[in-house]
Amino acid sequence: MYEWLFYIFAGLMLVSGFMVVANPFTRSPVASAMFLVVAIVSMAGLFVMLNAFFLAAVQVIVYAGAVVVMFLFVIMLLNPVERSRRRGWILGVVSALLAPAALVLLLLKAFYALDGGDIAETPVLEGGARELGELLFSAYVLPFEVVSVLLLAAIVGVVVLNKRETE
């Protein structure tokens, strides 16, 4: 039964991920955003199956609960009309080819590194809040602080842009 849950979540994620970028029924950006929510929630399901409960909960809170709501907010307020697809299409094609190629390379490397070894040997990790917090403040403290500075810079940037407009 456990394997079936994996196939359900993974299938849902792939199908809704496809619907985000290439929905054959409608071009509405709201539909894309809603399928993105389905993809995110299915991904949280996969995290739960990996015992990463904290990651699953945070994934739903941050991405489904806040980020996509922001997307919808912007879509509904600005009502974007369909832009011309000509501009920057080379960049789009190049990145669309490069990203999957890099991913396939990474996966191939991982599969060859396996070399018939036993996968089940790896210990089951309980991805709780405590373990994650300890790692964030010990082994990964530098990347963690760099990311927070980046976010702070974004906040300051937004405030500066807003101030300029009102003056």
Partner 1 sequence: MPAEVVDVVDRGNSKMSEELKFIVFSLMKVGAVAGVMMGMIAYVVLAERRVSAFIQGRLGPNRVGPLGVLQPLADAVKAFFKEDFVPAYTRKVYFWIAPALAMLPPLMAVAVIPFGSRLGGQKMVVADLNVGILYTFSVVSLAVYSIILAGYGSNSKYPFLGSVRGSAQVISYEIAMALSVIPVFMYTGDLNLSAVIGHQTGGIWNWFVFKAPISFIIFLVASFAEANRHPFDFPETENELVAGHNTEYSSIKFAMFFMGEYGNMIAGAAIMATLFFGGWTLPVFGLDKPAETLFVGILHILIFLAKVVVFVVLAIWVRWMWPRFRFDQLMDLGWRRLIPLALANILGTALLLWALN
Place of tokens 């991904």: 43
Does 72 sit near partner 1 (CB under 8 A)? yes
Query: What part of residues 29-48 is at the interface with partner 1 (CB under 8 A)?
Result: 30, 34, 37, 44
Exactly one of 3, 4, 22, 77 binds partner 1 (CB under 8 A); that residue is 77
Choose among 58, 68, 62: nearest CA to 38. Answer: 68
Could you tell me which stretch among 80-88, 104-112, 123-131, 144-152 binds partner 1 (CB under 8 A)? 123-131
Minimum Å distance from CB 24 to partner 1? 15
Structure token pair of residue 164: 């300029």
Choose among 11, 35, 13: nearest CA to 22. Answer: 35
Minimum Å distance from CB 71 to partner 1? 10
Does 58 sit near partner 1 (CB under 8 A)? yes
Contact 135, 61 (CB under 8 A): no
Tally the C-alpha atoms within 13 A of residue 46's C-alpha that lie toward its C-beta.
15
Distance (Å, whole) CA 117 – CA 120: 9
Exactly one of 5, 8, 70, 96 binds partner 1 (CB under 8 A); that residue is 70
How many angstroms separate the most distant Cα atoms in the chain?
A: 66
List contacts with partner 1 (CB under 8 A): 30, 34, 37, 44, 53-54, 56-58, 60-61, 64-66, 69-70, 72-73, 76-77, 126, 128-129
